[in-house]
Structure 1
Amino acid sequence: MEQHANQQYEFGHFRLMPNERRLYRENESVALPPKEFELLFLLVRNAGQPMTREDLHRTLWPHSIVEEANLNVHISALRKALADGSTEAQFIETLPRHGYRFVAPVTAVELPDSIIKQVAAVPTEIKLLSDDDAVSSKSEVAPKRFWQYARQRPALWIAILCVLALTLLGSLAGLYLYLFKAPNAEGATGNDSFAVNTLPLTTYPGRETQSAFSPDGNQLAFVWSKEDTANLDIYLRMVEGGNVIQLTNHAGDESNPTWGPQGRALAFYRSANDGDGIFVIPALGGTERKLTEVSPHRTGLGPHTWLHWSSTGKWLVITDKATGQEPLSLYLLSPETGEKRRLTTPPVSVIGDCSPMFSPDGSQIAFVRLLSAAAGELFIVSVNDGEPRQLTHSGEGISNLTWANQGSEIVYSSRYSGKSSLFRLPAAGGRAQLLQFAGNEAQYPVYSEHGKRLAWARNTDNTDIFQVRTKDGKATGSATSLIASTAAETSPRYSPDGKKIVFVSNRSGSDEIWVCGNGGEDPTRLTSFQGPLA
């Protein structure tokens, strides 16, 4: 069947719009990662017809070698997005030892004249997101195949290891401070509306991150992992300098400090072997109090935050979920009574809601809705009605945020350019502006109305690829550098013949796919996404 530029597909309560690359459930947008959208498009356009696993693999990954289980994962995620969990398939039928079939009735609607046609039951090709699927997602390259091909190499095999080396050099691994001004009278928001000096707040050995200004703007709480330990604890210090006070000392990791009203106490998140939870501790030190347990296992979700305390002191907003299967949602938690109210109910197709922060007046909460591990969008929800309003629609890797200028703006961190940068956006919506002074790898912005100060964390991560020789599955020597630069190299995989290595690097300024010889020689960039890899 010929594909028309203005065609959409309707089935059940859903409407699939290929040109927008969007799926709607009635009037609600359903977020789908690129591969799952392409898989659904392929099945819908061939509704009623059996699609073999081989046909699906050939169309979705024409030039890539992927594990058989990859298709199962995408089918499962697609069924979850369509809420097709019934015993009898409502949309996607499994054909044992063969493949799948889309069984729901589908109509093709050609707009704008609304000429309705039944979808022809003839297999067709689709145009995927990329013209060259050799640049498919790094998560879809099979790790088991790597070991299979490595064993084909003579005598001693070479196994590739990714070794993360954090370059923690003084202030480059610490917190920065900037004097932040409101737009000028003419409404300009250019860099000329800012002060001129960026000052390092901390230069301690180790890693400092996730800072929070006290309500009066005089003190700073932050997370510090000292040079001689990997444990994360919370510390306090005056903004202008002085002695550092350790507030927590626990075997678990503490993160995300947030001040209570009048600066008398702080709440924080703890991840420990006996479970994760939200705690409160007096700002002067003393006995901590556990407010609630929360769902664990969040370390793989990226640089997000999980709680914030309102300026009124009545509520904390936290990220949690009632069951292991549902997405993360936002809840209001009373620090006095322990009362807990659900605030958001994200679609089942997304990872969930995180990085919440109350507006200065406590009436709204800005947060990130995590669509996938690499994509998040910015939303605002009223504390009273709980109906979120989406601010961004660009598929950016937004991770954390802060309100600024009396709640008129939001400053957030995004990997839109391949490296984390800070942007400012009107809270009412509009065009985002890059804050160039923050530099690359800027995360966790926080703002204080007192002194109009903006602080953030900036890290330099140097991730290189190493090799180690093995025999009979055991290492026979120490790891040696194979692919290295001053940027980050990750996700290495051998080619089927073992002669080349494909990997991801941001040495060109954004995350791109590169290829080199099996000895690390002649690295060549294959892609020019100039944005985050999904």
Structure 2
Amino acid sequence: MTTNNNLEHTQSLAKAGLPQFQFGDFTFDLGQDELKQNQSLTITKLEPQVSQLLHLFVTHPGEVLSKTYLQETLWPNTIVEQNSLYQLLTKIRRLLNDSSRSPKYIKTLPKKGYCFIATVSLVVEETKPQAHTEDRAQLPSTAPNYLWLWLVPALIVCFSAYAFFSRYDGEPPVLHYELQDVSYDLGLESDVDVHITEDLIAYVKDIYSLQIANKQGEVLHQLDSPYRVAFPTWQRSGSLLAYWRYKEDQCELFIMTPQGAQNHQAPSIACESAIRPVWKNTDELVLSVWQKGQLIPYLYRISQQDFVKLPLAIPRQSLYKGAVKAWNSDVFYLLNHANHTSSLIKLNGERVMNWGFPVWLAAYNPHNQAIISNDSSQRHALVATHVDGRQYEVFQTAQGLFTNVSIDQDGDIYTAIESWQVNIRDKDQLPIFSTSSIDYLPVSNRLGETAFMSRRSGVCEVYLHADDQVVRLSHHKGYEYVQFLEWRPDLSMLLSNRDLDLALYDRQGQVLQFTTELNEKIRNIGWFNNDTVFAFDGHQLHFYNLQGHLTHSQTLDAQLVYFDVAAKRWLVLKNRILYSHDALENSGIKLAELSNQQSNLLHNIRLKNNTLYWQSSWSKQDYIWRLPLIEQSQVEMVKQGNLIWHFDISPYEELTIAKMEALEGDIKRLAVVTTP
């Protein structure tokens, strides 16, 4: 069958019998423009052109399709940039969890085109099926009938679902709540945890104190620490309390009694941060620790003082976000996926719950067996989700933002509601922009303009402050996170990331967004010259032109790679030693050796007047440093403090800081209301 006849044949099948294409772990429904992940049963609705491109691939398996052919087929009689095809390919690869380096589905053949390398089966279900009849075709050749294998996972899923749901008698009730004050002192109360059965709560007061109180808010004991403490967590059976303490670049786990007596101290573990521990039983906890930019789950045994990394089955391009103890006192694991959805899984990877938005805050309600989580707004409301898929809003606040939740056996929810203001201040210490957003990236230029990022609208947006006016340059609706913002050397454009993508802006708005094709989290980005940008993930350095095309790449293992456009040199930080290179292929000149404190969690790079500035974290304190880029210079500390989100240096070396101010947090109870 020729290419054209093959396409016409499948199109005729679409009219007659709605074909479905099976390949790898996926099923593509041409009639509905839907892609189903067979293991999780997750269905994604495809954009029309994404569906058309995938259709071209699955109807031509094993064939090399040139860029010209694909462009002419997708955009007939239309002139488009090559980047348009590139963007569609990127979307398909993300949906398929495919990699251009190690492809399972779409292989790139340089200067030739693309080839769909997976075996494709065409299953056609007749619109009026008859018993024991099925029209099945194999592309490009015949293959065994695997339809009976589809029934096995289907039966397993059905049986598992029955067993899972049958644990509960009747339909779980929908609960209603009223907001009550538990603590309302001045200052910040956060990280609350309630004991599931006893009249006890614990929370952090003003970062350095741990308070134990009853459910009415009467303080029973206070522990003051020289270091920051976080995430107290009660045993379910028993009354011991675990909590974290951050010391230098280590996380220390302590266990204490309600009276304040220390019961246990675990060995220190290297970390950047940690999140709430989960008691698995009286001797074991599931600990989630940030290490090298990733959240890693460990099993910790108190009796053995032993950390064991959990072999959690995490899909590619998904991120672990924490553990939840839920049904039958089992521990489940929260994942965020590349398509900005979330799921709760078992250790073996089996999914038990899904959300259509990123979930970072989750707790189990033993009263009605629901998971209480953040909603799609991320922080302004809580929703309940049941195992049968029912979901409804629990509570919405206009007072601040939900930052954590904990639930007792009666279904009462204890939560910290925090409010703050983050100001970007100019050289006169006057705020040029203020909001309750928690993320900023102020970056000024010689024209007196300041670009910055804010989540004021609920998503990361880029703004420009110029001539006493603030202009919004981006208008996004997704959850992509912005961590970097850089001016073009001639000051005519801005460069930012959006997760693993890069975006370009002029003074009117966003010009282009394209993928980096990096496999790991971006460490830093920048401009090589007015026509070339780069992105670095710790192992790969990629270069792109302003049309978003990857021009070349280089392998390099380092903590930091940054280009000094004015001096035309590379700055490379490796093993805490900062080098200057005129070319990365050449040996570098040692500029300075940084201490652990100066290099721990190094970020927010700024380069002004031949001086390098950066930010680090030590014992959860924020530090800003400066280093003149000449031999035998000494590193100087510029600023130290808590909750410094970002900073900038003006062309005149004046420090601008984006810092949380007017910080308040109170412990609230969402008490179950009995309805008549």
Q: State whether TM-score is above 0.5.
A: yes
Counterpart of 1:401 in structure 2 is 362
Alpha-carbon distance in structure 1 between the residues aligned to 2:442 and 2:136? 49
Alpha-carbon distance in structure 2 between the residues aligned to 1:398 and 1:263? 29
Deviations 1:415-461 (CA, angstroms, capped at 9, x unpaired): x03543111233x32321112355552231111226x5321011224
Q: Does 1:254 align with 2:229?
A: yes
Mapping of residues 18-57 of structure 1, within 5 Å: 22=35, 24=37, 27-28=39-40, 44=57, 48-49=64-65, 57=83
Q: Does 1:309 align with 2:279?
A: yes
- Contact 1:401–1:412, Cα closer than 8 Å, also in 2: yes
Work out which of the residue numbers 414, 423, 437 in structure 2 matches 1:455. 414
Counterpart of 2:186 in structure 1 is 204
Deviations 1:512-534 (CA, angstroms, capped at 9, x unpaired): 757677446375697584x7557
Mapping of residues 301-450 of structure 1, within 5 Å: 305-310=275-280, 313-319=282-288, 330=297, 332-338=299-305, 340=308, 342=310, 344-359=312-327, 362=329, 364-372=330-338, 375=340, 377-379=342-344, 381=346, 388-394=350-356, 396-406=357-367, 408-414=369-375, 416-417=376-377, 419-426=379-386, 428-436=387-395, 438-439=397-398, 441-449=401-409
Q: Secondary structure at the match of 2:354?
A: coil
Q: Secondary structure at the match of 1:399?
A: coil
Residue type of the alignment partner of 2:317: S
Alpha-carbon distance in structure 2 between the residues aligned to 1:32 and 1:491? 33
Q: Residues 107 and 432 (structure 1 numbering): CA distance in 2 closer, same or farther, change over 3 Å?
A: same
- Contact 1:9–1:106, Cα closer than 8 Å, also in 2: no
- Contact 1:277–1:293, Cα closer than 8 Å, also in 2: yes
- Contact 2:273–2:289, Cα closer than 8 Å, also in 1: no
Q: Secondary structure at the match of 2:282?
A: coil
Alpha-carbon distance in structure 1 between the residues aligned to 2:254 and 2:28? 44
- Contact 2:452–2:464, Cα closer than 8 Å, also in 1: yes
CA RMSD of aligned residues (A): 5.2
Q: Secondary structure at the match of 1:189?
A: coil
Deviations 1:266-302 (CA, angstroms, capped at 9, x unpaired): 2223444343354423443344634466673457xxx
Residue type of the alignment partner of 2:415: W
Counterpart of 1:221 in structure 2 is 202
Q: Secondary structure at the match of 2:83?
A: helix
Q: Residues 332 and 511 (structure 1 numbering): CA distance in 2 closer, same or farther, change over 3 Å?
A: same
- Contact 1:368–1:400, Cα closer than 8 Å, also in 2: no
Higher relative contact order (CA 8 A, sep 6+): 1
Residue 43 (structure 1) shift = 9.7
- Contact 1:464–1:488, Cα closer than 8 Å, also in 2: no
What TM-score results when the alignment is normalised by the length of structure 2?
Answer: 0.48
- Contact 2:204–2:211, Cα closer than 8 Å, also in 1: yes
Residue type of the alignment partner of 1:218: D
Q: Secondary structure at the match of 1:57?
A: helix
Alpha-carbon distance in structure 2 between the residues aligned to 1:291 and 1:17? 52
Mapping of residues 55-70 of structure 1, within 5 Å: 57-59=83-85
Alpha-carbon distance in structure 2 between the residues aligned to 1:118 and 1:491? 51
Q: Does 1:235 align with 2:199?
A: no
Alpha-carbon distance in structure 2 between the residues aligned to 1:348 and 1:295? 25
- Contact 2:33–2:45, Cα closer than 8 Å, also in 1: no
Residue 258 (structure 1) shift = 1.2
Mapping of residues 260-279 of structure 1, within 5 Å: 260=235, 263-279=238-254
Residue 100 (structure 1) shift = 7.1
Q: Secondary structure at the match of 2:84?
A: helix
Residue 112 (structure 1) shift = 3.3
Counterpart of 1:136 in structure 2 is none
Q: Residues 91 and 294 (structure 1 numbering): CA distance in 2 closer, same or farther, change over 3 Å?
A: farther
Q: Secondary structure at the match of 2:360?
A: strand
Residue 239 (structure 1) shift = 3.0
Counterpart of 1:189 in structure 2 is 174
Mapping of residues 272-287 of structure 1, within 5 Å: 272-287=247-262
Counterpart of 1:132 in structure 2 is none
Alpha-carbon distance in structure 1 between the residues aligned to 2:472 and 2:309? 52
Q: Secondary structure at the match of 1:462?
A: strand
Residue 498 (structure 1) shift = 12
Deviations 1:391-438 (CA, angstroms, capped at 9, x unpaired): 2342x2211222224352222223x03543111233x32321112355
Residue 187 (structure 1) shift = 7.3
Residue type of the alignment partner of 1:392: N
Residue type of the alignment partner of 1:429: D
Q: Secondary structure at the match of 2:241?
A: strand
- Contact 1:31–1:349, Cα closer than 8 Å, also in 2: no
Q: Residues 482 and 289 (structure 1 numbering): CA distance in 2 closer, same or farther, change over 3 Å?
A: same
Residue 240 (structure 1) shift = 2.5
Alpha-carbon distance in structure 1 between the residues aligned to 2:122 and 2:236? 56
Residue 211 (structure 1) shift = 0.8
Q: Secondary structure at the match of 1:436?
A: strand
Residue 51 (structure 1) shift = 5.0
Alpha-carbon distance in structure 2 between the residues aligned to 1:34 and 1:489? 32
- Contact 2:450–2:466, Cα closer than 8 Å, also in 1: yes
Residue type of the alignment partner of 2:288: T
Q: Does 1:112 align with 2:125?
A: yes
- Contact 1:511–1:532, Cα closer than 8 Å, also in 2: yes
Alpha-carbon distance in structure 2 between the residues aligned to 1:498 and 1:29? 53
Counterpart of 2:553 in structure 1 is none
Percent identity at matched positions?
A: 13
- Contact 1:38–1:60, Cα closer than 8 Å, also in 2: no
Any stretches of 5+ residues in structure 1 without a counterpart? 63-70, 120-184, 300-304, 469-476
Alpha-carbon distance in structure 2 between the residues aligned to 1:110 and 1:445? 47
Residue 246 (structure 1) shift = 3.6
Residue 106 (structure 1) shift = 5.5
Residue 101 (structure 1) shift = 3.5
- Contact 1:223–1:234, Cα closer than 8 Å, also in 2: yes
- Contact 1:107–1:116, Cα closer than 8 Å, also in 2: no
Q: Residues 103 and 432 (structure 1 numbering): CA distance in 2 closer, same or farther, change over 3 Å?
A: closer
Q: Residues 419 and 241 (structure 1 numbering): CA distance in 2 closer, same or farther, change over 3 Å?
A: closer
Q: Residues 485 and 433 (structure 1 numbering): CA distance in 2 closer, same or farther, change over 3 Å?
A: same
Q: Residues 370 and 278 (structure 1 numbering): CA distance in 2 closer, same or farther, change over 3 Å?
A: farther
Mapping of residues 64-79 of structure 1, within 5 Å: none
